[in-house]
Amino acid sequence: MSAAGGTDDEVLGRIFLTRVLEPGDETGGRWVRELGWAAVVRRLRERGEPLPGVSAKRWAGLLARAGRAEPRGDLAVARDTGVRFVCPGTVEWPGQLDDLGDARPLGLWVRGGADLRMWALRSVAVVGARACTEYGAHMAATLSAGLAESGWVVVSGGAYGVDGAAHRGALGSGGATVAVLACGVDRPYPRGHTGLIGRIAEQGLVVGELPPGEHPTPSRFVLRNRVIAALTRGTVVIEAAHRSGSLVTARAARRLGRHTMGVPGPATSALSAGVHELLRQDAVLVTDAAEVVELVGDMGELAPERRGPVLPRDLLDPAGQQVLAALPARGTARPEEVALAAQTTPDDAVARLYELRALGYVERHDDGWKLTRQAMISVRDGSTHR
């Protein structure tokens, strides 16, 4: 067996295929599923009969790529940089990636000491705009820090903006984070995040489908997003314009039956327009880590009840509140008048008025009762509750 997981032949065969087929190639995935990886590798290496459903032009292109592939060299480069190759079906392979069907990765290059399968079991994707606002960066960092403190792994794409803020939030709280790259994991992209991705590799994991040295392209970024969506229990989008790649991740999550969530922004912000569109469909609005965990976590992991500040009058029992509300805002009222307004007896009204007096809410003036200044403030502040 190989240290990477899987037999040596399968590891080398699948590495060979990562040089020939692009990530997410469903035609290639179907070949591997129907014929087996070994048969596909043999057909390409022996330059034999074209594989099913491929044009002559594309077959020539695949053969040209196959002629340049050197899987043993790729594996040696990876091992020299502390990178391993994980095959589908092996101990470290996250089974949820199989939900991608024929678009499932041929294998994953993994940099970092943690177990990818175990981390993916309790993970959430946090993605969003590269050119995010300060609000977007703040929300990504604080939400990710909260998730990490709650024992969740934060997964993102290592890019500028929301991705970087999410990774930093998790790292800053001493938590776990995974960066899924659209290039070789040995050459961090963007270059400005070389230090950050290095920190992620030390404290978390850096993952990718492409072999060492491969560079990102626009299509590879888009296809990378399906891995982020499949790897996690749910995807949170923070700031995304209508054509943002982050929405691709959210839509992939929805197709895969994962939770999709959005953090709202100002109604006037074009950067939040894509998030708001998700929320108008079937995404769930979230504002902090507790709300995310309530959605994606186990039964009983509930967010705290949200409510305004507790006012002194809220601590009164219902009967006391009813008598307090029966007193006029100005002037005094006799006990029988209070009883009539509170729908109780005069004796009960008197008893309640003396309780309220002890608490500082009312005061007696001859045969009448009136609200104190404290009660006036409490009633005014609590008017929205009435």
Q: Which amino acid does the sequence have at 188?
A: P
**285/319 same-domain check:** no
Q: Which one of 247, 262, 296 terminates a domain?
A: 296
State the average pLDDT over residues 127-134. Answer: 94
Establish if 273 belongs to a structural domain: yes
Average pLDDT estimate for 79-88: 94
C-alpha pair distances (Å), 94 with each of 98, 117, 364: 8, 4, 73
Judge whether residue 385 has pLDDT over 60: no
Asked if pLDDT for residue 61 goes beyond 60, the answer is yes
Return the closest-CA partner of residue 200 out of 151, 149, 166.
Answer: 166
Q: C-alpha distances in angstroms, 323 versus 166, 320, 331, 337? A: 52, 5, 15, 10
Last residue of a domain, one of 268, 296, 324: 296
Same domain, yes or no, for 265 and 119? yes
Lowest mean pLDDT among 80-89, 167-176, 248-257, 337-346: 337-346
Same-domain check for residues 337 and 221:
no
pLDDT band at residue 386 using 50, 70 and 90 as cut-offs = very low
Is the predicted pLDDT of residue 296 greater than 50, yes or no? yes
Mean pLDDT for the stretch of residues 77-101: 95
Average pLDDT rounded to a whole number, residues 340-356? 87
| Domains identified in the chain, total number | 2
Give the count of beta carbons closer than 10 Å to the beta carbon of residue 76: 11
Q: How confident is the model at residue 311, as a pLDDT? A: 55
Strand partners, 110: 84, 207
Closest CA to 156 of 141, 145, 166: 166
Q: Select from 110, 111, 90, 107 the least CA-distant residue to 15.
A: 107
Evaluate whether residue 271 is within a structural domain: yes
CB-side exposure of 45: number of CA atoms within 13 Å?
14
Pairing state between β 284-285 and 259-263 = parallel
E-state strands within the chain: 83-86, 108-111, 123-128, 153-156, 177-181, 205-208, 234-238, 259-263, 284-285, 362-365, 368-371
User: CB of 224 within 8 A of CB of 182?
Assistant: yes
Clarify whether residues 257 and 321 are in a common domain.
no
320 and 291 together in one domain:
no
Q: Would the pLDDT of 309 be above 70?
A: no
Q: Find which of 179-183, 245-249, 318-322 is predicted with most confidence, using mean pLDDT.
A: 179-183
Between these two residues, 319 and 220, which has the higher pLDDT value?
Answer: 220
**3-class DSSP assignment, residue 138:** helix
291/338 same-domain check: no
Residue entry with tokens 């491929």: 54
In angstroms, the CA 377 to CA 352 distance is 20
- Mean per-residue pLDDT for 6-33? 93
CATH number at residue 368: 1.10.10.10
Of 195, 163, 191, nearest in space to 179 by CA: 163
CB 353 within 8 A of CB 368: no
Q: Does residue 59 lie within any of the structural domains?
A: no
- Residue range(s) defining the domain that contains residue 380: 312-385
Q: Is the peptide bond before 190 cis (omega within 30 degrees of 0)?
A: yes
CB-CB contact of 93 with 207 (8 Å):
no
User: 281 and 178, same structural domain?
Assistant: yes
Please give the residue that has the higher pLDDT: either 301 or 167: 167
Q: Are residues 291 and 318 in the same domain?
A: no
What pLDDT is recorded for position 153? 96
User: Cα–Cα distance between 1 and 319 in angstroms, integer?
Assistant: 75
In a domain, 81, yes or no: no
**Where a domain ends, among 296, 322, 347?**
296
* pLDDT 10s digits, 186-228: 988 899 999 999 999 999 999 999 999 999 999 999 999 999 9
> Does the pLDDT of residue 384 top 50, yes or no?
no
- H/E stretch holding 201: helix 194-203
| Averaged pLDDT of the chain | 89
130 and 256 both lie in a single domain: yes
Which CATH number do you get for residue 149?
Answer: 3.40.50.450
Q: Which of 4 and 365 is assigned the larger pLDDT?
A: 365
Q: Are residues 346 and 201 in the same domain?
A: no
Q: Give the pLDDT confidence of 138-158 residue by residue, as tens digits.
A: 999 999 999 999 999 999 999
Q: How far apart are CA 103 and CA 71, in angstroms?
A: 21
Residues 146 and 220 in one domain: yes
Question: pLDDT at position 146, please?
Answer: 96
